[in-house]
């Protein structure tokens, strides 16, 4: 049932996407396919609309044109209850975790099951504790408020909440931004491990070359308002485009390559 990285089945399909804010066009005629079971990394310079693409896919903003199919369905054409059934099948980690500030970590993790499912409190407590360990947090962080956690811990807690309904797709928005290199590497490993163990498809927006080297099966580069190229790290290194060359051959890229 759970496929290995990169099957041929397409789980997210974006066709002819156009998004704009006022007169500022972010994407124009953007196409992207995400295969089931892969980790795809989306990169691009600042302002190329990486996060906007993620928000468009999960339905937080409505594109001006184009079609977005997730699980083979166009979610924008559904009414809210029908949508909600699909939304439960993905988890999203926002940049700073976006934990609910008035709830403890355990309560944050229990929000999706409490709202969507009928589970006993005991089972929810057990599952929250399991998810907390799964993302590598200390058990005693369960009762802490988000303001009592460090940035890295907040991200892990956010990841635990994103995983709380055992989603099929995991959206990560700059998961390693703001973490120290050791924490970032640990987070990369965690994502890879979870992806393998739970059979997730991971859609990952990042700036972090180490992450790209360490975990991504494929990389999609956003430039000139569209997806310039999709492929493996080798494809990126061979591709001839000034920005991509600079990005993947710059001094930081070389360091990342050495350590990968």
User: Footprint of other proteins on this chain (CB under 8 A)?
Assistant: 1-2, 88, 101-102, 106, 113, 116-120, 123, 125-131, 133-134, 139, 142-143, 147, 163, 165-166, 196-199
User: 110 or 206: whose CB is closer to other proteins?
Assistant: 110
User: 129 or 177: whose CB is closer to other proteins?
Assistant: 129
To the nearest whole angstrom, how small is the minimum distance from the Cβ of residue 118 to other proteins? 4
What distance in Å separates the CA atoms of residue 107 and residue 25, rounded to the nearest whole number?
A: 39
What distance in Å separates the CA atoms of residue 166 and residue 130, rounded to the nearest whole number?
A: 12
To the nearest whole angstrom, how small is the minimum distance from the Cβ of residue 114 to other proteins? 11
Helical spans, DSSP H, in 98-172: 105-116, 121-134, 151-162
To the nearest whole angstrom, how small is the minimum distance from the Cβ of residue 49 to other proteins? 26
To the nearest whole angstrom, how small is the minimum distance from the Cβ of residue 29 to other proteins? 34
Selection from 235, 232, 234, 197 nearest residue 216 by Cα: 232
Q: How big, in percent rounded to 5, are the helix, strand and coil portions of the chain? A: 45, 25, 30
To the nearest whole angstrom, how small is the minimum distance from the Cβ of residue 154 to other proteins? 10
Written as six digits, the tokens of 109 are 């993790």
Please say whether the beta carbons of 39 and 202 come within 8 A.
yes
User: 93 or 227: whose CB is closer to other proteins?
Assistant: 93
User: 199 or 231: whose CB is closer to other proteins?
Assistant: 199
User: 171 or 247: whose CB is closer to other proteins?
Assistant: 171
């Amino acid at each position: 049932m759970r496929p290995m990285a990169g099957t041929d089945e397409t789980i997210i399909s974006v066709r002819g996407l156009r998004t704009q804010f006022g007169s500022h066009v972010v994407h124009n005629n953007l196409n992207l396919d995400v295969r089931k079971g892969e980790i795809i990394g989306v990169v691009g310079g600042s302002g190329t609309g990486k996060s906007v693409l993620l928000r468009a896919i999960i339905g937080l903003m409505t594109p001006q044109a184009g079609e977005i199919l997730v699980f083979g369905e166009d979610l924008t054409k559904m009414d809210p209850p029908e949508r909600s059934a699909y939304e439960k099948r993905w988890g999203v980690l926002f940049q700073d975790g976006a934990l609910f500030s008035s709830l403890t970590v355990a309560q944050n993790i229990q929000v999706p099951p409490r709202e969507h499912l009928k589970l006993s409190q005991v089972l929810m407590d057990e599952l929250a504790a399991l998810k907390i360990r799964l993302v590598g947090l200390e058990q005693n962080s369960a009762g802490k408020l988000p303001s009592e956690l460090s940035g890295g811990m907040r991200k892990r807690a956010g990841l635990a909440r994103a995983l709380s309904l055992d989603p099929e797709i995991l959206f990560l928005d700059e998961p390693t931004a703001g973490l120290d290199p050791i924490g970032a590497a640990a987070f990369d490993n965690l994502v890879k491990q979870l992806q393998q163990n739970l059979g997730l498809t991971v859609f990952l927006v990042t700036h972090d070359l180490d992450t790209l080297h360490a975990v991504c099966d494929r990389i999609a580069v956003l430039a000139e308002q569209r997806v310039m190229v999709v492929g493996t790290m080798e494809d990126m290194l061979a591709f001839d485009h000034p920005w991509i060359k600079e990005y993947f051959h710059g001094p930081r890229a070389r360091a990342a390559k050495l350590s990968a």
